[in-house]
Chains A and B, each alone.
Chain A
């Protein structure tokens, strides 16, 4: 991805929630660049801050949230740099959806149940100054065809008349309606059945090739990230602890948490597998642990980990990691991989 133009640049973003128990550090010092046409997958478990980070990018955070530090710079189609955190309400409205759109989990209630799909489309277009219904309709029908929906039927349906997979496809089409440059997908295949998930993944892959938008893909499912991402970032307790090209992250993970996630994910193509969960549970972010936030659960932890948080360092080309024991993690990962590939070979023969 190096050399390609940066569409969205996030620097040192920190977000806290004010809760009854005190300040909850949901995202701390997150930085990344999203390039044109790139798909960045954010992986991590519930409560790791991946959704908060994205709500922060769209400035959709609830009132009790505060963006403490950081900068979000968006480069629009004309090449102009926009400081997202400085946008006023009107400019923000334009930024959302027409520059940067968000696609929510469709199996839940992201569509208004009492109006037709067509009215949702007309309303969205109208709010962004597109008043020519004929043109909007054409555009919507074209997008519906692209996401493999029966255009006329779906256009005139209520959400309850559609299946979960169809609703998700409507949301994807709706997200792309104003031709945004950046699309954020928040768990778009979670809670869908296997075959439906597969068709959504195929639709996304084709759309990306055809329309060339950049996307941020939030998922707790590593397999989905492996399938769709160019770059993968692992988040733990509000921090991006490792980020790199998809093959580097999956085949040469350098953070103990990333390796832990890999070791906890069963794979169909490997025969009998020895898997291990990660002991303990994610930390309380009101009173986060000192040092590396993962040290309590980490099998590699040394004394330094308990006191000093590890800095994010470049490990190889485009691959950064915040772990003192990254070379040990790398070795351990290689060892485990060679065992599992032996199992694969044994099964094939």
Chain B
């Protein structure tokens, strides 16, 4: 997998947003590669930059600096035809199924536009056949019942299926699912995820799954990788079982230990990693050195607050972590002076 050329690759990507006169660094030095057919989960709390990363991948946002490569070629400075091809290959499914479908168009129209725009059908009969096929793929059956409906006539789960069908309509190589199931009820979530999984298996589509729910990430991406983000940086990346089962970065450890579990005995026995502070620092004023150091119980003064840690391999299994005490082999220990308040 690693020898193969990645489908999409971010190299040293930075992104700033301007707010008044201040520059807010939303992403700093992001390096990620997604291979075809792979599942990559981006997890982290709100404001960590996971959505911005997703948008940069599909070209909805431009990077401030750094490089985005699609099949080894930069995505900027392409000809019109190549650009259209790149745009077609990368699709996104947004979070809110109520806001992402045009309320005045029927489902048939919504699915028809991208097909016509990218000249994927040549006549009306073919268009109709393709729309039917798409609706069947996402389990909206019988298609005849759905195609003339408007979005408001569908439930949240059904709408999200339409969003997935729309993303699929142009035969993409990668789908970015941005919190695609977080607004859907528990009982519907799993079947939506199963639909996404089956599409990946069938067509070899890579999926970048953005979520704040680690348990869901664990379920969906068991065979894939998880990248944990904190304040605009990836702090740890590795295979899903490794990250969930033996997290290394203090932030990942804190997250995993904080998640309640749908099992009363297990969840009440769980030991939470005590943090030094509950408050997430503002992006306007990111702490020097490791951005997590003001909250980290393993903080080493004079080290963590000086140097910005970069992702480094931790073991031979492809797990990488950005934590100086860890990558220098010092290990982690809770210091008396850092005891939680």
A and B are interacting partners:
yes
Task: Tell me the chain A residues, 214-244 only, with Cβ under 8 Å from chain B.
Answer: 220-224, 226-227, 229
**B245 near A224: Cβ-Cβ < 8 Å:** no
How many chain-A residues does the 8 Å CB contact rule pick out?
46
Task: Tell me the chain A residues, 181-209 only, with Cβ under 8 Å from chain B.
Answer: 193-199, 201-202
B337 at interface, CB cutoff 8 A: no
B286 at interface, CB cutoff 8 A: no
A106 at interface, CB cutoff 8 A: no
Partner of A222, one of B188, B258, B262: B262
Interface locus among B266-274, B300-308, B320-328: B266-274
**B254 near A195: Cβ-Cβ < 8 Å:** yes
Q: What's the Cα separation between A221 and B262 when bound, in Å? A: 8
Q: What's the Cα separation between A46 and B189 when bound, in Å? A: 13
B190 at interface, CB cutoff 8 A: yes
**A266 near B263: Cβ-Cβ < 8 Å:** no
Partner of A226, one of B187, B189, B191, B263: B263
Query: Which residue of A has the minimal Cβ distance to B255?
Result: A194
B147-158 Cβ-contact flags toward A at 8 Å (1 or 0): 000000001011
Residues on A with beta carbons closer than 8 Å to the beta carbon of B266: 267, 269
Partner of A223, one of B212, B215, B219: B215
Interface locus among B8-16, B26-34, B74-82, B275-283: B275-283
Tell me whether A268 and B256 are in contact in the complex, defined as CB-CB below 8 angstroms, given that A193-B45, A246-B264, A277-B191 are known contacts: yes
B179-214 Cβ-contact flags toward A at 8 Å (1 or 0): 000000111111110100000000000000000101
**B188 near A266: Cβ-Cβ < 8 Å:** no
Interface size class of B (residues with CB under 8 A): 35 or more
**A277 near B214: Cβ-Cβ < 8 Å:** no
How close is B296's CB to chain A, nearest CB, in angstroms?
12
Residues on A with beta carbons closer than 8 Å to the beta carbon of B331: none
Interface locus among A28-36, A66-74, A257-265, A320-328: A257-265
Residues on B with beta carbons closer than 8 Å to the beta carbon of A276: 190-191
Partner of A250, one of B45, B222, B256, B263: B263
A45 at interface, CB cutoff 8 A: yes
**A273 near B185: Cβ-Cβ < 8 Å:** no
A128-151 Cβ-contact flags toward B at 8 Å (1 or 0): 000000000000000000001000
How close is B197's CB to chain A, nearest CB, in angstroms?
11
A330 at interface, CB cutoff 8 A: no
Task: Tell me the chain B residues, 144-185 only, with Cβ under 8 Å from chain A.
Answer: 155, 157-158, 185
Residues on A with beta carbons closer than 8 Å to the beta carbon of B244: 268
Tell me whether A250 and B245 are in contact in the complex, defined as CB-CB below 8 angstroms, given that A45-B185, A148-B278, A193-B280 are known contacts: no
**A197 near B258: Cβ-Cβ < 8 Å:** yes
Residues on A with beta carbons closer than 8 Å to the beta carbon of B262: 222-223, 226, 250, 262, 265, 267
Residues on B with beta carbons closer than 8 Å to the beta carbon of A163: 279-280
B260 at interface, CB cutoff 8 A: yes
Q: Most A CB atoms within 10 A — which of B158, B214, B218, B260?
A: B260
Partner of B186, one of A202, A220, A247, A268: A220
B216 at interface, CB cutoff 8 A: yes
Given contacts A46-B185, A265-B186, A277-B187, 5 further A-B contacts (CB under 8 A): A193-B45, A250-B262, A266-B215, A271-B222, A277-B194
- Of the A-B pairs whose beta carbons lie under 8 Å apart in the complex, a sample of 12, sorted by A's number, is A148-B278, A198-B260, A223-B259, A223-B260, A224-B260, A247-B264, A250-B262, A262-B262, A264-B187, A268-B218, A268-B256, A276-B190
Per CB-CB distance, the 7 closest pairs between chain A and chain B, nearest first, are A277-B191, A277-B190, A198-B258, A278-B187, A266-B219, A193-B45, A223-B260
